[in-house]
Amino acid sequence: MTTNDVIDELISGAGNLPELAEHAQEWALGNLWWVISLAFLLVIALSSVQRLMSRSTLRNRQAFEVLPTNGFDPALEDVLRFAKQIARAQRSTSRWALPARGTAMRVRLMSVGGPLTLRVEGPARATTVLRHQGYAQCELRAVTGKESTPERPKIRLGVHNDGAGSAAAA
């Protein structure tokens, strides 16, 4: 078969394209409910598998607190290096093996009856990258047990303290 024969076949096949497109359209309209049902089931199955895979990843997260010393005053380069470290920790967990929902890093600024602390949370697979200390004048402490899930902040709107002890909380 020569190149000219292949080109001639393609040209003659191109003449049949309108007829093939018409048959494909008739088939799609005749079987539309099958196609829609199959697509719907496929979307449900994929989202269920993703949710099941991310459930175990979200359950096995590690948290570290960065506790600053009294003389803590980071330079801009230190802050950028710490941010890069957090981004590297997220990339260290494979996005192909885990859903993106489970690989997210969380950074919290917290103060629970004391000085301001920085808490960094991530998947357990990124523990080695998270464990590397980002700031020179800070102590890195692993968070375990009850303190790993802090109490949600309570927001009270319309609080009055007029001396009579009445408070309206929403």
Look at residue 43 and tell me whether its pLDDT is greater than 90: yes
CA nearest to 119, candidates 58, 71, 127, 111 = 111
Q: What is the pLDDT of residues 112-158, one digit of tens each?
A: 777 777 888 887 777 777 776 667 777 777 787 655 555 565 666 77
What is the C-alpha separation between 58 and 4, in angstroms, rounded?
Answer: 60
- Give me the pLDDT at residue 70, please: 78
Q: What is the pLDDT of residues 103-125, one digit of tens each?
A: 777 888 877 777 777 888 887 77
Residues constituting the chain? 170
What is the C-alpha separation between 55 and 124, in angstroms, rounded?
Answer: 13
Look at residue 35 and tell me whether its pLDDT is greater than 80: yes
> Band of the pLDDT at 166, cuts 50, 70, 90?
very low
- Give me the pLDDT at residue 152, please: 60
- Give me the pLDDT at residue 100, please: 65
> Band of the pLDDT at 85, cuts 50, 70, 90?
confident
Q: Residue 145, Cα to own-chain centre: how many angstroms?
A: 23
95: number of CA atoms within 13 Å, CB side? 6
What is the C-alpha separation between 159 and 3, in angstroms, rounded?
Answer: 85
What is the C-alpha separation between 169 and 159, in angstroms, rounded?
Answer: 6
Predicted structure pTM score: 0.52
Q: Which of 7-11, 29-33, 36-40, 112-116 has the highest mean pLDDT?
A: 36-40
DSSP character at residue 93: S
Residues 6+ apart with CB under 8 A from 104: 90, 122
